[in-house]
Amino acid sequence: MKLEPTLTDRILEAVSEAPGCRIEDVVGNFPDFTWNQIFRELGRLSRNRQVRLVVNRRGLTVRES
C-alpha cells in the first residue's frame, strides 16, 4: 500500500522545483490545506533549517536551505 505524501513532503518538493517561489505560490499549490496550515508548516521547516523564508521586493519567498 502506497502512503500519501505528507504536507511537509509536498512543500519540500514544490520548493525544490521552483526555488525562490513566493509564499502565495506555495499556498496556491495546495488548495486542500488552509493558509494557516501551510504557513505553520513553513515556519517549522524554517526553524529546522529545511527551507529559508526571505523577505525581498517580491514579498516573502521560500527557498531551499
Express each pLDDT in 34-65 by its tens digit.
999 999 999 999 999 999 988 877 677 787 77
Taking each helix axis as running N to C, give the angle between helix 35-47 and helix 7-17, from 0 to 180 degrees, rounded to the nearest 10.
Answer: 80
pTM (2 decimals)? Answer: 0.81
pLDDT band at 2 (very low <50, low <70, confident <90, very high): low
Check residue 55 and give left, alpha or beta (phi > 0: left; psi -120 to 50: alpha).
beta
- Distance, in Å, from the CA atom of 62 to the CA atom of 23, rounded to the nearest integer, reads 6
Instruction: Reply yes or no on whether the pLDDT at 1 is more than 80.
Output: no
pLDDT band at 8 (very low <50, low <70, confident <90, very high): very high
Domains and CATH numbers, the chain: 7-64 (1.10.10.10)
